[in-house]
Structure 1
Amino acid sequence: MGDSKFCTNCGAKTQPEDVFCESCGQKLEAREPFREPFPERPKKKGNSGVIAVVALLVIVIFGGAYWFFSQKGENDNIADQPNQNADSSNQNSEASNEGTGETQQTEPASSQLDLTKARTYLSTPGYKSTFFVNYPDGMAGVVERFSGRGPNANEGVIVSEVEVVRENGEDYGYGFHYVTRQDGSYYILDSTPFEIYPHLKDDLSIGKTWSYEDEVFGDIVWTVMDMGVDLDLGFEKFSNCLVVKEDNQAAGFVTIAYYAPGSGMIYSTDASGNNDYYKMTAKEQIGTEQAESQIVKWCPNYLEIKDDRTQ
Structure 2
Amino acid sequence: MASKFLTTRPNVFSRSAVHLSPAACSSLSILSIRSAHYAGPLRHASLSKPAVQRSFRRTYADLPAPPPSQPPTPKRRFRVFRWMYRLTLMSLLAGAGTLGYSVYLLRNPDEQVQPDASKKTLVILGTGWGSVSLLKRLDTENYNVIVISPRNFFLFTPLLPSCTTGLIEHRSIMEPIRNILRHKKAAVKYYEASATKIDPVRKVVRICDESDIKGDTSTTEVPYDMLVVGVGAENATFGIPGVREHSCFLKEVGDAQEIRKRIMDCVETAIFKDQTKEEVERLLHMVVVGGGPTGVEFAGELQDFFNDDLKKWVPEIKDSFKVTLVEALPN
TM-score of the aligned structures, taking structure 1 as reference length: 0.19
Larger radius of gyration between Structure 1 and Structure 2: 2
Q: Which structure carries more relative contact order (alpha carbon 8 Å, separation 6+)?
A: 1
TM-score of the aligned structures, taking structure 2 as reference length: 0.18
Give the structure with the higher percent helix.
2
